[in-house]
Structure 1
Amino acid sequence: MDAKPVTRRKRWAPVRIRPRLRRGGGVQTDKYLYLLLVPGLLYFLVYKYLPMLGLVMSFQDYSPFLGFWESPWVGWKHFQTMFEDPEAIRVILNTLEISFLQILFAFPLPIILAIMINEVRHAVYKRLIQSLVYLPHFLSWVVVVGIFVVFLKSDGIVNHLLAWFGMEPIPFLTRPEWFKPLIVFQVIWKESGWGTIIILAALAGVNPQLYEAAVIDGASRLQQIWHITLPAIRSTIVILLILRLGNVMDTGFEQIFLMLNPFTMDEGNVLDTYVYFKGIQQGDISFATAVGMFKGLVGLILVVIANRLARKFGEGGIY
């Protein structure tokens, strides 16, 4: 008998399963995801973009009885009045001074506080500290100013302590030189903890192997912070600074308005309260609109300049 031929077993290559690409992606396919954008888009449309149509009032002597189309057009009259009015110049300078004091003292503190919280190794203490520093953010400015008034009024706790040490009481709330430091301190106390959230999120993305290598090389904790932590969150800090510069003419209405009194009006009156006094109390709506438009233009210019400088020095910027 003839021997059967030996057959070779075939070697099958492993089958590669390719993921099936979804065709026709877009609004129709992901319609439920796009529906989640609707509330946010409506918010910006109704409260941010549609009110911009009212900027035409800054070029008119607007009258509510005549409306947008019948009110007389006056061109740049209100802007010229704003720059010729000594009170308006003083208000602009007050706004810039308070804003730059907040950038100088209140902006770096959330960064420092986030780094300090990040260095806490005990998880329970870390969460407790985070909760305590977040808490003031949820208090309204009415409550915050009320707390400061109770502590700093003439017969308040602070002046009682000063008298106990044999010192003269200080009228903190009526002295003009105390107004701006109190405003900055209130912002620091209320918002520093909340500002740590973004910084802590950025710190969570730092590669822990960098710290391990630094420890092997003999780096101290301060050296690790300076050479690893700060460079890792530098881009986040730059973006936050650019966004903060966009609000440099916006110091917050509620806080300033609640702290103002006849003794501190010259030092504390800012653009937000100035617009209220001119537009609401005195009824000069067109002039108040021109001041508000000036605020927005200054913020836009500062954002563009800061973004270009950031990109020039190698950072990503915001656009």
Structure 2
Amino acid sequence: MRNFSLYLFLAPAVILTIIFKYVPMYGSIIAFKDFSPMKGILGSNWVGFEHFIRFLSSPNFYEIFMNTLKLSFYGLILGFPVPIILALMLNQVRRKSIKKNMQLILYAPNFISVVVITGMLFIFLSPNGAVNSILGFFMNKPISFMTEPEYFMSVYIISGIWQGAGWASIIYIAALANVDPSLHEAATIDGASLLRRIWHIDLPALKPVMAVLFILAAGGIMAIGFEKAYLMQTTMNITASEIIPTYVYKIGLQAGDYAYSTAIGLFNSVINVIMLVIVNVIVKRLNEGEGLY
């Protein structure tokens, strides 16, 4: 009862989590049934793992699975260090006015709609766009970035890093704010260079935060959003842009095969949970027993 007020503050988050995260888990039963909207979830017949087998044995399973894994994996590996580097760079800016303006510029892309971002990509990367106008000085033929499959992954990942890196650096900037300035002053007096101070003072302070965020990012490695991939998708680049979320959207909402699409989504979630457990164990061993849980 002494902590009643604290539990009261926590209650809305717990209630929302139960309603929007745990209650919908009941719908996962559809993945094991021949679901019919007329019969409902309980009235539909059980089919076991039929939908999972159907997906794993489908001709395009390997292509869809590998596209999802590549986009997520390379996005994590290439995108994870960028917010850390930005935070370390911003931490070295001493003039508050310049620092605030730089943060505003870096954070702004996060608030641009995915639809607008995709539209900008089609405009700038079109054969007559700004990028091809610059490349025209070095190449005779324009590159169709948005239709050729080999460029889809690069455009997707680079644009994602540009959009989210600044906003993702906020947590690291907050962690660096807790570093005692006297440590840098003492290191400077001892003759330590800027890189030495960053390596021995700033990075150790970021280490716990980096471990937790990396585990969470790796745990959601297959939980890539479908909006951007779907908007960037064309008939020409579909071999590289078709991923599990876009496939689920087409099968579930467009084709109306709810049971099959639920099975695919559940398969995707199981992969995420397995990755979360594995990465957490690895990080705990490398980080002196400190992990997500």
Q: TM-score range by the shorter chain?
A: over 0.9
**Higher radius of gyration, 1 or 2:** 1
Unaligned runs of 5+ in 2: none
1:127 maps to 100
CA distance in 1, matches of 2:210, 2:2: 36
The reply on whether 1:244 has 2:217 as its aligned counterpart is yes
Matched residue type, 1:87: N
CA distance in 2, matches of 1:228, 1:166: 46
1:309 maps to 282
**Cα 1:208–1:107, aligned 2, differ >3 Å: closer, same or farther?**
same
SS at match of 2:2: coil
TM-score computed with the length of structure 1 as normaliser? 0.88
TM-score computed with the length of structure 2 as normaliser? 0.95
Aligned counterpart for 1:39 among listed residues 4, 12, 17: 12
Unaligned runs of 5+ in 1: 1-23
Aligned counterpart for 1:272 among listed residues 237, 245, 253: 245
Matched residue type, 1:157: A
Whichever structure has more helix as a proportion of its residues is: 2
Aligned counterpart for 1:148 among listed residues 97, 121, 125: 121
Aligned counterpart for 2:152 among listed residues 179, 182, 190: 179
1:78 maps to 51
Figure out how many residues of one structure are paired with residues of the other and give that number.
Answer: 292
8 Å Cα contact 1:250-1:271 kept in structure 2: no
The reply on whether 1:25 has 2:5 as its aligned counterpart is no
1:166 Cα shift?
Answer: 5.6
8 Å Cα contact 2:220-2:276 kept in structure 1: no
CA distance in 1, matches of 2:228, 2:9: 34
CA distance in 2, matches of 1:73, 1:210: 64
1:35 Cα shift?
Answer: 3.5
1:39 Cα shift?
Answer: 3.0
1:18 maps to none
2:136 maps to 163
User: What's the CA shift string for 1:186-211, capped at 9, x where partnerless?
Assistant: 11110000010000011111122221
The reply on whether 1:318 has 2:292 as its aligned counterpart is yes
Runs of 4+ in 1 over 6 A off after TM superposition: none
Aligned counterpart for 2:170 among listed residues 192, 197, 202: 197
User: What's the CA shift string for 1:111-143, capped at 9, x where partnerless?
Assistant: 011101101111111111011100000111001
CA distance in 2, matches of 1:207, 1:65: 64
